[in-house]
A and B are shown apart, each in its own frame.
Chain A
Amino acid sequence: MSTPWAVATSDGAVPMTKPIKPADLAPVDGPLYAPHKKVYPQSVAGTFRNIKWALMAGCLGIYYLLPFVRWDRGPDAPNQAVLVDFPNSRFYFFFIEIWPQEVYYFTGLLIIAAMVLFLMNAIGGRIWCGYLCPQTVWTDLFYAVERLIEGDRRERMKKDAGEFRLPRALELVAKHTIWLMIAWWTGGAWVLYFADAPTLVKQLATGEAPFVAYVWIAILTFTTYTLAGFMREQVCVYMCPWPRIQAALTDEWALNVTYRHDRGEPRTSVKKAEELRLKGLPAGDCIDCAQCVAVCPTGIDIRNGAQLECIMCGLCIDACDNVMAKVGRPTRLIAYDNEINIHRRQEGKDNVYRLVRPRTVIYAAIIAVVGGVMLYALATRSFLDISVLHDRNPLAVTLSDGSVRNGYTVRLLNKRNTQRSVTLDVAGVSNAMLHVVGTDTVVEGQPLIAVGPDQTAELRVLVTVPPGSKLAKSTSLTFRIADAAESARAQDHFILP
């Protein structure tokens, strides 16, 4: 028994590590598979509940409404602020437009997302899980609906155990209807990110939307309904990898939702505690009311210490604070705290909080560096680009006058929303003559090529070197394009037969 407070446990509490005698083993229905124990979280009011409501409103508001935000990009581009345009392979995010070959920005975003998650974990444990994870947000919303229709914890438990009569059936129908409507809207909002939202809404209303839109709405309706309505905390406990990873990433300084057993134990009743205190004997603040257990959305007892199931939503803090206020003891018997401070208090020392430590500094630094590099790359990126591919077969062609010709496939990229004309020339091989197949427009000896707005143009370019040129077997060659505003270049080779 290494758990420090287990020794002090009074009769009622069963600490996590108390061994069960073989004789007391409950007859389980299968030795290896446990039936699902339904969780009935009780409603609670308090600071953390309010934070959760606010974040839920914010997250869902952004998710459901963002597709309708407009952003003017001129006549040739979509005016939806956030749009994943698969048919034209473009991603729009307000003033940013990403081409498929710039997908590395997403890599940067993913790195930042991971680091933000790690940083949150280093500061406040699994606060992502408790406040922002879609599974938590939608489950919370579904619980709110359930509570509205069926009542709070006790009523729900009673109704589930009670007889199945018509009023109960009507309640269930109402609950599942609202759940399905929320789930349907979740899927509906999802597809709006992939097409012009107002148009698609109109198409959905008239039944003229593309088949794939209905498929995705059906998929997300199903997953939302199932995961938020039925699977709930089991997603966190059995499916999600983050609790496992998180356990390996955390350290002793992270502020986790913690039962301050130094203050709470020995737990007893309000009356007994008063008697004990009058006698000058030690009495814990925990009155064993089990409110923390009743409000827990994953159905655990936080007093058993840090657990894989705990999403650190802080609802038990609210529940306990309300009780402590009622019995006239200081609040925050359960709080965002750590074992270090528990031990320090037991030794009569002050709390210490170390938010700045190597772990948080490194995570913050990585976020800053990756974010900075991405911003710099985004701010200085070229809106004109060129890529060149040398013919593989034949590498070189001898012409009848003895001159040598190399062929290239050149692709020009115009990332602006206006048509541009660029000049093309080559450098690095003297006397090289440039011919763009199919283009006769030439300005000052350089072919002039038009590239449409937000488009690419593929050219076949022939470079010919007159006979008698003294060249190496392979000579470096640079293709350059330029218009009044920008220029770009690409390196390749000129090869002799």
Chain B
Amino acid sequence: MAEHRDVDAVSGTVTTGHEWDGIKELNTPLPRWWVWLFYATIVWGIGYWIVYPAWPTFTGYTTGLFGYSTRGQVEADLADLKKVRGDKAGTLAAVPLADIAKDPALRTFAIAQGKAAFGDNCAPCHGSGAAGAKGYPNLNDDDWLWGGTLAEIHQTIEFGARSGHKQARDSLMPAFGRDGILKRDEVVAVANHVRALAGLPTRRGVDVDAGRKVYAENCALCHGDSGKGNKELGAPNLTDAIWLYGSDEATIIDVIANSRASVMPAWSGRLDPVTIKSLAIYVHTLGGGN
């Protein structure tokens, strides 16, 4: 190569000796330390192979002198998190539910932890924003099937509803139509009466008065004479604007005829007491807590 080296007449620069179809390459040399830095990066790269996991082998990979792994990093991070949470989690376990709100820092911690636990455990049914869905209550509103005080919410989360747990919230509405307790026209009549209770229009031609009688005989025991419901029994308030399954006539007829009994699992045993406490605090602050 060197024997072809030449001097460019225009710039006075020496060429590299490379030539392509008469085009020559000028040699503007880099400083030598630049090359040394380039070699240094190669050495640095080899150093990386040695101290960090780098090469696959037949059974695994080279682990490197530092023993680094991303999984180990996650475990270390989790251990750190546990340490950070340690004190507060202990306090949260010791302080009675009603007193947590008195300590703003503890309350903030409980809400943050509750929010995370809600996303992991509750969101599949109640939605990530706790807005609920048909058959799954909205936890943001002020209507509570089993009570909306902190203690009541805590109890519902702990033992669930119709979960099979001994202390679960439990009740069962009869399937008035399917079990032959009420006749078809009685069901239609009582459904229209229920709509009237909530201030909703009734279907013309339906004997709402007959429905009121049916209601008094069959429904008032649980839902109350005026339809305000009974939180002890999980009997919904029929006079308000919130309907778990829907307020149209067909849906109400269906509920009366076939009954509905949605289930919420008991979380004691699945979640630790501190998490359940945090969940109760979080749900209570969503906007409707009593």
- What is the bound-complex CA distance between A402 and B14, given in angstroms? 88
Q: Which residues of A contact B143 (CB under 8 A)?
A: 399-400
Does A61 reach chain B (CB closer than 8 Å)?
no
Closest residue of chain B to A392 (Cβ to Cβ) is B129
> Does the CB pair A398–B287 fall under 8 Å?
no
Chain B 33-58 interface mask (CB, 8 Å, partner A; 1/0): 11100000000000000000000000
| A:371-416 near B, CB below 8 Å | 391-394, 397-402, 405, 407
Any chain B CB within 8 A of the CB of A120? no
A34 touches B32 (CB 8 A): yes
For A174, the chain B residues whose CB sits under 8 A away are none
Please report the C-alpha to C-alpha distance between residue A25 and residue B14 in the assembled complex, in whole angstroms. 8
| Complex interface: chain B residues within 8 A of A148 (CB) | none
B27 in contact (CB, < 8 A): yes
Instruction: Check A397–B7 contact: CB distance below 8 A.
Output: no
Instruction: Give the shortest distance, in Å, between A153 (CB) and chain B (any CB).
Output: 22
Quick check: A401 and B240 within 8 Å, CB to CB?
Answer: yes
| B112 CB within 8 Å of chain A | no
Nearest CB on A from B214, distance (A): 25
Contacts of A22 in B (CB 8 A): 5-7
Q: Which residues of A contact B35 (CB under 8 A)?
A: 30, 33
B285 neighbours in A (Cβ, 8 Å): 437, 460
Cα distance A391–B287 in the bound complex, in angstroms: 12
Query: By CB atoms of chain B within 10 A, which of A35, A393, A467 has the most?
Result: A393
Tell me how many residues of A have a C-beta within 8 Å of chain B.
35
Instruction: Tell me whether A17 and B240 are in contact (CB under 8 A).
Output: no
Contact with A along B237-249 (1 / 0, CB 8 A): 1001110000000
B15 CB to nearest A CB, Å:
10
Q: Would you call A21 an interface residue if the criterion is a C-beta within 8 Å of the partner chain's C-beta atoms?
A: yes
Q: Does A20 contact B (CB under 8 A)?
A: yes
Interface pair A401/B241, CB less than 8 Å apart: yes
Out of B34, B130, B131, B240, which one reaches A238, CB within 8 Å? B34
- Interface check B30, CB cutoff 8 A: yes
Q: Are A394 and B17 in contact (CB under 8 A)?
A: no
* A12–B16 alpha-carbon span in the complex (Å): 28
Q: Given A28-B29, A462-B287, is A20 in contact with B14 using a C-beta cutoff of 8 Å?
A: yes
Q: Are B32 and A36 in contact (CB under 8 A)?
A: yes
- Among A18, A34, A398, A460, point to the contact of B141 (Cβ < 8 A): A398
Residues in A with CB closer than 8 Å to B5 are 22, 25, 31
Q: Are B141 and A399 in contact (CB under 8 A)?
A: yes
Contact of A35 among B27, B32, B142 (CB under 8 A): B32
Asked whether B27 lies within 8 Å of A32 as measured between CB atoms, the reply is: yes
Question: Smallest CB–CB gap between A251 and chain B, Å?
Answer: 23
Q: Does B11 contact A (CB under 8 A)?
A: yes
Q: Is the CB of B241 within 8 A of A19?
A: no
Minimum Cβ distance to chain B for residue A154 (Å): 25
How would you classify the secondary structure of chain B's contact residues: helix, strand, loop or mixed?
A: loop
Chain A residues positioned under 8 Å from B138 (CB to CB): 394, 397-398
For residue A362, CB closer than 8 A to chain B, the reply is no
Of residues B11, B143, B241, which shows the largest number of chain A Cβ atoms within 10 Å of its Cβ? B241
Given contacts A22-B6, A238-B34, A394-B140, contact A34 B29 (CB under 8 A): yes
Taken together as a complex, chains A and B put the C-alpha atoms of A32 and B34 apart, in Å, by 11
CA distance A399 to B31 in the complex (A): 76
B-contact 0/1 string along A6-44, CB 8 Å cutoff: 000000000011111110010011111111100000000
A431 at the interface (CB under 8 A from B): no
Chain B contacts for A437, CB-based, 8 A: 285
| Alpha-carbon gap, A397 to B287, bound state (A) | 9
A430 within 8 A of B: no
Residue numbers in B under 8 Å from A20 (CB-CB): 7, 12, 14
Contacts of B237 in A (CB 8 A): 400
The verdict on A16 contacting B32 (CB below 8 Å), with A397-B141, A400-B242, A402-B241 known, is: no
What CA separation (Å) do A397 and B289 show in the bound complex? Answer: 14
B7 A30 Cβ-Cβ under 8 A: no
Report the bound CA distance from A346 to B222 in whole Å. Answer: 113
Evaluate whether A405 and B7 lie within 8 angstroms (CB atoms) in the complex, with A33-B30, A35-B32, A400-B143 already known: no
Flag whether B127 is at the interface (Cβ < 8 A). Answer: yes
With A33-B30, A35-B31, A405-B141 already in contact, 20 other A-B pairs whose C-beta atoms are closer than 8 Å: A17-B11, A19-B9, A20-B14, A29-B32, A30-B32, A31-B27, A32-B27, A33-B32, A33-B35, A34-B32, A36-B31, A36-B33, A238-B34, A399-B143, A399-B241, A399-B242, A400-B240, A401-B240, A405-B140, A460-B285
* A/B interface sample: 23 pairs, CB < 8 A: A22-B5, A25-B14, A28-B29, A31-B16, A31-B27, A31-B29, A34-B29, A34-B31, A35-B31, A36-B32, A393-B129, A394-B127, A397-B138, A398-B138, A399-B142, A399-B241, A400-B237, A400-B240, A400-B241, A402-B241, A407-B140, A437-B285, A467-B241
